[in-house]
Amino acid sequence: MTFRSGGERCVGRLYRPDRPAEPPLVVLSGGLLGAPSSGLDQYAERLAAAGYAVFRFDVRHTGDSDGDPRNLLSPARQRADWEAAIAGLRGRGDVATERLVLWGTDLAGGTVLDVAADDPRIRAVVSQTPILSGRAFLRARGLASFARGVFAGVRDLVQSPLLGVHDVAVASSSRDDDRGPALVSSPNASRTYREFVPDDADWTNRTPGRSLLALARHTAGEDRDRISCPTLFVGGTRDDVVALEGIEAAADSIPDATLLRLPVDHFDLYAGDGVEQAVGHGLAFLDTAVEP
């Protein structure tokens, strides 16, 4: 399925369960950029097998969706993509959008909070390892790394019009990568991203430097006190990418929120037992929050 956002084409896949005839609909997306989003297909398959319709889509500049330069991170555009996806789904007659659930991970974990705060028709939200403050996310690696990221972003903005994109790594396994700063830095980052890239995928481990500037300016969930639907937060106790403390604070600030702490690291939630735990608990939450 395709829809338009900002004049560009976005692409997703609709998973339909065998039954019931009119299942609740989960809109699913996430990941900072590109490759690990493919790990969400297994979430969609599990949810569909449990009786939920699922629309899993790629935001602009990633996956099968349009947008140049590739792998550009723009929180504002990603939120617009979510809103466009929801609007397009509500215009269809073959899905039950009156029971609409938002499930976002990483950057999208914060985006779904903002969308739900502005849309009282959302029935439930799952916010998995949400990035709520891009500045805090980047500064956790140290001031020197943060400063290199800002410099790379400014350089990209200055040189792009004439010389082309100045890019940095999407994922690095070291904070002192010779190639410069990265959006994600952890011991397992590069390996996990490579594992999720299909052999025929047109994806490289590079993103325009301005992505770091956009992330540094990004905050999410500031209006979460206006979220009226049940909300499930998911965090890992061994996560060295997204700090659990920020997730705990967000959960405390929403009246009808549940916090799920799983004994996993960040990338366990894209593969293996972490997926089984997240989906299992997520289904238990949705069965209570969404079903009449």
Q: Which of 242, 173, 179, 190 is nearest to 34 (CA)?
A: 190
Q: Are 152 and 168 in contact (CB under 8 A)?
A: yes
Q: Are 169 and 181 in contact (CB under 8 A)?
A: yes
Show me where the domains of the chain are located.
2-136+220-289
Stretch (H or E) spanning 127: strand 124-128
Alpha helices for the chain (secondary structure H): 41-49, 75-90, 107-118, 134-139, 143-163, 189-195, 210-216, 244-252, 273-289
Tell me the residue type at 165.
Answer: V
How many residues are there in the chain?
A: 292
Confidence of residue 74 (pLDDT cuts 50, 70, 90): very high
In this structure, is the dihedral angle defined by the CA atoms of residues 267, 272, 278 and 279, taken in order, positive or negative?
positive
Task: Please tell me what DSSP assigns to residue 59.
Answer: P
Tokens of 274: 């972490």
pLDDT (tens digit, 9 = 90+) per residue, 241-284? Answer: 899 999 999 999 998 999 999 999 988 888 778 999 999 999 99
pLDDT at site 208: 94
Integer Cα distance of 112 and 102 in angstroms: 6
Lowest mean pLDDT among 135-144, 148-157, 169-178, 256-265: 169-178
Confidence of residue 136 (pLDDT cuts 50, 70, 90): very high
Mean pLDDT of the chain: 89
Q: Are 66 and 8 in contact (CB under 8 A)?
A: yes
Confidence of residue 198 (pLDDT cuts 50, 70, 90): low
pLDDT (tens digit, 9 = 90+) per residue, 163-178? Answer: 999 999 888 876 545 5
**Integer Rg of the chain from CA:** 18
pLDDT (tens digit, 9 = 90+) per residue, 25-66? Answer: 999 998 776 555 667 899 999 999 999 999 999 999 988 899
Lowest mean pLDDT among 1-15, 70-84, 100-114, 267-281: 267-281
Three-state DSSP at 276 gives helix
pLDDT at site 172: 83
The pLDDT > 70 percentage for the chain reads: 93
Kindly tell me if the per-residue pLDDT of 22 is higher than 70. Answer: yes
CATH topology of domain 2-136+220-289: Rossmann fold (3.40.50)
pTM: 0.93
Tokens of 78: 């990603």
Lowest mean pLDDT among 77-91, 111-125, 198-212: 198-212
Q: Are 94 and 120 in contact (CB under 8 A)?
A: no
pLDDT at site 187: 78
